[in-house]
A = this chain, B = another copy of it.
Amino acid sequence: MELAFDEKDFLACCGSTRFATEMAKASPFPSFQAAVPAARDIWFNKVDVNGWLEAFSAHPQIGETKSVASGKSDTSAQWSKGEQSTALATATGSSLQELSDWNVRYKQKFGFIFIICASGRTSPEILAELKKRYSNRPIEEFQIAAEEQMKVTELRLAKLFSAREHMASTGDQ
């Protein structure tokens, strides 16, 4: 069984237009396992640095649930909330404030928001990671953010495929 998706589906996984276009071109994929290497190749070899910045800006800041570029994808916003559920459950008012302050410092230094695959990570873990990464050189941090973005994309592709397989098996189109 081949599963076809359109650009909008892939844009919810990764907010780079180029990524979404190329994934739609490479689609359909026989499985999630087949989509991952294609996605990695597109993200690291075909999407340019402007595309990386575009994808980063599609995320809400960690500790918030609404992205600056909101309205782009409702699915992306919902997934983002789910990915941050552990962080939000372990956050206190003061830790959220500290996270917010460090987000500002990070953005001032690097010119893009802090990207981390937040899934399963607590608020203190995320804050510690942000502080550690803050000392990196801008170009190093750019590459780390791109790796984290890819982790997020893979998790979201998994959700996309599992929802579609579920629909296909139950006949719920």
Contact = CB atoms under 8 A, between A and B. Distances in A.
The interface residues of chain A, by DSSP majority, are classed as helix
Given A139-B143, A139-B146, A110 B45 contact: no
Contacts of A112: 48-50
Contacts of A72: none
A97 B148 CA distance: 41
Counted per complex, copies of this chain come to 2
A52 to B, nearest CB: 8
Contacts of A110: 48-49
A139 B44 contact: yes
Interface residues of A, number: 19
A44 B138 CA distance: 8
A110 B45 CA distance: 10
Given A139-B146, A143-B139, A146-B139, A49 B48 contact: no
B53 A138 contact: no
A137 interface: yes
5 contacts: A48-B110, A48-B112, A49-B49, A49-B53, A49-B138
| Minimum-distance CB pairs A-B, first 10 | A48-B111, A50-B111, A48-B138, A49-B142, A48-B110, A45-B137, A49-B138, A49-B111, A139-B143, A44-B137
